[in-house]
Amino acid sequence: MLDPSKFLADPSAVNVAAAAQSEVALGDPKVIARDVNVWYGDKQGLKSVSIDIRSRSVTAFIGPSGCGKSTFLRCFNRMNDTIEGARVDGTILLDGRSIYDPDLDVVELRARVGMVFQKPNPFPKSIYENIAYGPRIHGLARNKSDLAQIVETSLQKAGLWDEVKDRLNDPGTGLSGGQQQRLCIARAIAVSPEVILMDEPCSALDPIATARIEELIDELRANYTIIIVTHSMQQAARVSQRTAFFHLGVLVEEGPTETIFTNPSDKRTLDYITGRFG
Amino acid sequence: MTVATDIAATGFESTDKVRASLARRHAAEKRFRLIGLVAILLGLGFVAILFASILAKGLPAFWQSNIRLTINLDPAIIKISPPPQQQEGQSNAAHQAELLAWRGELASLNWGRLIENALIAELPSDAAQRRRDVSRLVTSGERFKLRDLVAANPNLIGSTVDVDLLADANVDVWVKGNIDRTLPDAQLPLNPVQRNYVAVLQEKGLLVQRFASGLFVNVDSRSSLASAGLAGAFIGSLYMMLIVIVLAVPVGVAAAVYLEEFATKNRLTDLIEININNLAAVPSIVFGLLGAAVFINWLRLPLSAPLVGGLVLTLMTLPTIIIATRATLRAIPPSIRQAAIGLGASRVQTITHHLLPLAIPGILTGAIIGVAQALGETAPLLLIGMSAFVASVPVTPLDQSTALPVQIYLWQGNELRNFFEARTSAAIIVLLALMVMLNGLAIFLRRRFEKRW
Amino acid sequence: MSSFWLIVVVLAVMGFAYQFGATKSRKVARSGARLHSLPTHYGVLLALWCGVPALAVLLLFAVFEGNVIRAIVASGLPDEIRALPADQLSAILNRIHSIATGFGVAGEPETFEVQAAERMATLASIGLLARIAAMAVAAVLGLAFVLRRFGPQLRARNEVERGVQALLIFCSAVAIFTTVGIVLSMLSEAIRFFSFVHPFDFFFGTVWNPRFATVGAGGGGGYGLLPLLWGTVLISFIAMLVAVPVGLMTAIYMAEYASPHFRSFAKPVLEVLAGIPTIVYGFFALTVVGPFFASIGAMIGVEVRATSALTAGVVMGIMIIPFVSSLSDDIITQVPRSMRDGSLGLGATHSETIKRVVLPAALPGIVGAFLLAVSRAVGETMIVVLAAGNAPVLQINPLQAISTVTVTIVNQLTGDIDFTSPQSLVAFALGLTLFTITLGLNIVALYIVRKYREQYE
């Protein structure tokens, strides 16, 4: 496999060897992508994208619809593998190690890189079972009380515990839209991921539920690396520390959120944020 | 920071746990996939075993033992007057009686003796004293072959003819080895003398295997088992299929057209739809009961007639055709209807000029599949009287008849298992071949004419 | 045969009427008046109005004339003949009919027969004339009714289309007629049966032994349903034991794992299993599967009959596999992708996703599919007739022979069907039971599947 250290622009930014084995310091690149291309059949959806995702922060991917941001998001947990005819090449490193490394099982990858989808998709099971699903299949709990503890912690971290603690056996599908999405976030948290991918998590929700989730994201970034795809620039501005602007499958510009929104370097970025297209 | 380290610690713990579970889970995945594959292979295997066993049993039955003989049409034995002609003023009934009498006279002539004489000429000398054993070598129905030969051409009397006669069923079984030759004599169908004769005939090259055309052109027979054939069953099934096509297709298409194009969503149409869906799932034997109670008992239609069978099968096939036609009509995009109506066509005109022509391939396919299904139905036919033995070809759909699947059912029950298992398998091959052809036709039509909207 | 020619005449007249209407309307159109409908419509309308009444009259005559004539002739017969039992009287009437049509009977006819035959022949000619007259009258009346209104204003097309619509509705109603026919006929015969045997003895009786006693023996013989019902249950159970695992796993593999290439090959082959007539399965069970089981039993020292519940059940299971498999396949594919993605996103393997998310989500639909399969198994006849032996007793050993409801129906109605004896009538009571059970299963199954589909729409 390729030597990751060759691909870092500034090798002094991180000690790759150390990163591969131990905890990554706050702000250091948690996920590194270099020259990533994605094809769906003959169509190329993503062209040569390179980016560093800082740990313990929120990175937002913005851009008009069809620009490839969701496609790129799905590369990080190899969900594109499940799509017929999709092909990915380039390098993606998680903690300095390629996610396509044969020694890294995709199951383990997906436990470390969780995902929340656009439309809340709770399983047709009880709230408890929805959260317990991940820990169960990965064998994370030694016994029932451990499992119950994990469920409670996850629901608390997702800010849902107080609302559902008395009805854990009710079906997950019976909750409101906003609650369902928080349930899905809790479900993702339950397997103790390091990175959480969020694909337009609020687009199906009303403003109050959206605000609630944005609050949650802000709390979560203390402990998780979060990448959020959003079509709302205001949301990106509110929630993220760094923003990446995509257009027609290309990463146009990436940097601190404030810079991107007040003083972008690329004209395309400026046109998008001023509403000239998209 | 403590929180962060907290999470980090749990994070690494879980990753370790996840890693620990991987081997077990991937093994479980492989097992699961394997079970699925095994299930499919099992299903495919069943198909293969079924076809292999039927073919293995049935194909040999398409060739039957025949004995080649030179028969001397001895005028001393064939003493007969010319056939009677109808006289002036004689009633139909009386003439029929005379004809029957003449035929009886013809039949009562000892044709068997002619066959025996021909056989004795080829067999060892003791055969002349063992006429009974000799007579059992050729199946009894072959006498009528000679009789019909002479009846058609009375000039043949006095000459010799070469004929291939069907050997008796027991001979066929023996020759083909369909019986355990180590069984004691009492359990074997042929006695040692007969077996010897068979060996002699084989050595002389007079015992040959010929294509069993009788299977197709003869009617069923109880007395002359080797000549039992499917002719009556073919015609019976043919009549029934014709009735199904003539009745079920128009009515089914009409009903489907009404439900798709005319009907508004009201109680009546809901009721009709529920009925159709239910009828599609009703066991076939219930239709047989309907046939027995209504067609036989109430309408007093003749028992075991193809007309009754056809009516019962029509009712069974109707839901299939209605559902298939509805699917076809539904597949036609509304734009075609709208275009026609936009031009001022009435609903009936839209249907007849535009929709039905487009729907014809789908309707044909549905009809053919429905007919193929009806061809294989047995249970309802048994209940309208077709379980009886019928030794003639039906002339009209009102005559007693049998059908292909019913004939199979009757044959498999015959005591002469060794012979009839093979023959039944051959009949099954014929039935399956017909169904394969029909289904193949349907698939061909669908591929050729199907429009992809 | 005369009916045939009458129909031909009617069709010819309809043809003329059509020509007349069409030509007349064309003439009128050419003279400048605006027609409401196309000339064909006017022609068809005339043809229908003269043809349909005539044919309706013909149908009435065909259905009733024969019986009416026979009744009239029978009433003219000597008293001692009329007192004979129904079938002998019927035979005599047949002879009279033969004499009347000129075919003659073997032997000398009796004087009363000759007289009756002459009467019959006269009645037949009167009937024929009456028929022709009535048909003509009907046709003329119909034509008059339409000709009175004939003109360019006549909305011929609308009338014709209404007529067509009526015809279509009638054809659709055939489905209802069929169901009504099934229910009524079975119900009436079953009710007659229950006049011989008390329903309680039938539905809860544990002995099936219909002795062929004479009518009026007060239901002599055991007509207990339970051994037959039990046989049906046992065999269906064995069939489902075979079909459910194989069918479900096949569906899962086809829906979740198989490549399109594999699917295109395997699916049609499995469909073949569905298309094979059940008599072939029965024969296969009798000649291959049964002896196979028997020989295995001999090898391990257990007594296994060649024709047994096991044989019939296993082969029936094989027959049902494609049924279960294709229904389950449809149901599983309907589980939304988002649910699978959610599970995979959490790091579940494919089989874990299927076992823990997809199947539980698909469960109602699959249960519905199983119920439909059970209904099929319950109603199956030929496999059981050939391969289950014929022992209508309450016994639980699947290695022995057993009998089911469907087999018994066939047994009771083959041979001489006497619609006045309980031996034959019981078949209808059995049929009614069978119909109710399968109907119930189907309704429940379709309801469950519908509810399941609504969930994901």
Q: How far is CA C392 from CA B42, C219, C227, in A?
A: 32, 18, 6
Contact status of C171 with chain B (Cβ, < 8 Å): yes
Contacts with B, C 368-397, CB within 8 Å: 372, 375-376, 378-382, 385-386
pLDDT at C2: 67
- Domain map of chain B by residue range? 2-59, 63-218, 231-449
State mean pLDDT over B217-238: 89
The CA–CA distances, whole Å, from A159 to A217, A221, B3, B86, C434 equal 10, 14, 17, 108, 57
The band of B452, judged by pLDDT with boundaries at 50, 70 and 90, is low
* Overall CATH class of domain B231-449: mainly alpha
Residue C355, number of CB atoms within 10 A of its CB: 16
**CB–CB contact C361 A123 (8 Å):** yes
Partners of B341 on chain C (C-beta within 8 Å) are none
Among residues 303-332 of chain C, which lie with CB inside 8 Å of chain B?
318, 321-322, 325
**Contact predicate B241/B373, CB 8 Å:** no
| Chain mean pLDDT for chain B | 86
- pTM of the entire predicted model: 0.84
pLDDT band, very low/low/confident/very high, at A167 (cuts 50, 70, 90): very high
For chain C, the first-to-last Cα distance in angstroms comes to 59
Q: Which two tokens stand for residue C70?
A: 């026979």
Whole-number Cα distances in Å, B114 to B72, B142, B206, B334: 7, 11, 17, 76
Question: Dihedral angle at the C-alpha atoms of A95, A97, A100, A101, nearest 10 degrees?
Answer: -140
- Residue reference for tokens 């000459």: B159
C348 and A107 within 8 Å at the Cβ level: the answer is: yes
Average pLDDT over residues B79-91: 72
Is the Cβ of C433 closer than 8 Å to some Cβ of chain A? no
Tokens matching residue C309: 């519940």
Q: Which residue on chain C is closest to B18 by alpha carbon?
A: C347
- A134 min Cα distance to partner chain C (Å): 6
Interface test with B, best of C3, C108, C161, C174 (most B CBs within 10 A): C174
Nearest CA in chain A to C456: A124
| B140-159 average pLDDT score | 81
Phi, psi of B381 (to 5 degrees): -70, -30
pLDDT score of B453: 61
Query: What pLDDT is recorded for position C216?
Result: 46
Lowest mean pLDDT among A96-100, B60-64, C144-148, C247-251: C144-148
* Beta-carbon separation of B33 and C351 below 8 A: yes
CB contact under 8 A, A121 and C338: yes
Domain boundaries, given as residue ranges, for chain C = 2-154, 222-455
Which residues of chain A are within 8 Å of residue C336 when distances are taken between CB atoms?
A: 121
Overall average pLDDT of the B263-278 stretch: 84
Which residues contact residue A211 at a Cβ distance below 8 angstroms, ignoring those fewer than 6 apart?
none
User: Look-up: residue for tokens 């003398």?
Assistant: B193
**CB distance from C278 to chain B under 8 Å?**
yes
Contact B18 C350 (CB under 8 A): no
What does the pLDDT average to over A6-27? 44
Q: Is C64 on the interface with B (CB under 8 A)?
A: no
Nearest-neighbour CA in chain A from C240: distance (Å): 27
CA atoms within 13 A on the CB side of B151: 17
Q: Let me know the angle formed at the C-alpha of C375 by C374 and C377, rounded to the nearest 5 degrees.
A: 60
Phi, psi of A89 (to 5 degrees): -140, 170
Across all residues in chain A, what is the average pLDDT?
87
Could you give the C-alpha distances from C102 to A209, B90, B94, C4, in angstroms and in order?
A: 96, 12, 11, 20
Q: What is the pLDDT of residue B25?
A: 92
- Do A79 and C348 make contact, defined as CB atoms within 8 angstroms? no
Q: Does C172 contact B282 at a Cβ distance shorter than 8 Å?
A: no
Question: Nearest to residue C146, comparing CAs of C29, C17, C60?
Answer: C17
Q: How far apart are CA B443 and CA C5, in angstroms?
A: 40
From chain C, the residues in CB contact with B377 under 8 A are 277
Cα(A9)–Cα(A59) distance, rounded to whole angstroms?
Answer: 19
Helix, strand or coil, per DSSP, at residue C211:
coil
The CATH class of A29-273 is alpha beta
Per-domain residue ranges of chain A: 29-273
Q: What number is the ipTM of this complex?
A: 0.87
For residue C238, give the amino acid letter. I
Task: Give pLDDT, residue C151.
Answer: 73
Residue type, A241: Q
Chains touching chain C through at least 3 C-beta pairs below 8 angstroms are A, B
User: At residue B10, does pLDDT exceed 70?
Assistant: no
- Per-residue pLDDT band at B350 (split at 50, 70, 90): confident
Q: Which of residues 407-436 of C touch B (CB under 8 A)?
A: 409-410, 413-415, 417, 419, 427-428, 431, 434-435
Can you tell me the distance from the alpha carbon of B111 to that of B71, in angstroms, rounded to the nearest whole number?
10
Residue C313 and residue C237 in contact, taking contact as beta carbons nearer than 8 Å: yes
Q: What is the pLDDT of residues A211-250, one digit of tens each?
A: 999 999 999 999 999 999 998 889 999 999 999 999 999 9
Contacts of C263 in chain A (CB under 8 A): none
Q: How many angstroms separate the CA atoms of A164 and A170, rounded?
A: 9
8 Å CB contact of B46 and C321: yes
The reply to whether residue C105 touches residue B93, judged by beta carbons under 8 angstroms, is yes
Tokens found for residue B330: 């539904």
Mean pLDDT by groups of 10 residues along chain C of 457 residues: 75 84 82 78 82 84 78 80 72 74 69 80 84 86 83 78 87 87 90 86 85 50 87 95 95 92 86 90 94 92 88 94 92 92 93 94 92 94 91 86 92 78 87 94 89 76
Query: DSSP string of C335-380?
Result: S-HHHHHHHHHTT--HHHHIIIIIHHHHHHHHHHHHHHHHHHHHH-
The tens digit of pLDDT for each residue in B104-132 reads 777 778 888 888 888 888 888 888 888 88
- The single-letter DSSP state of residue B295 is I
Q: What helix, strand, coil percent values describe chain C, rounded to 5?
A: 75, 0, 20
Dihedral-angle region of residue A200 (phi above 0 means left; psi in -120 to 50 means alpha; beta otherwise): left
Within 13 Å of residue C401, how many CA atoms lie on the same side as its CB?
A: 14
- What CA–CA distance (Å, rounded) separates A175 from B153? 94
C284 contacts in chain B (CB < 8 Å): 50, 53-54
Residue B344 confidence (pLDDT): 83
Q: Which residue of B has its CA nearest to C289?
A: B50
Where does C222-455 sit in CATH, by number?
1.10.3720.10
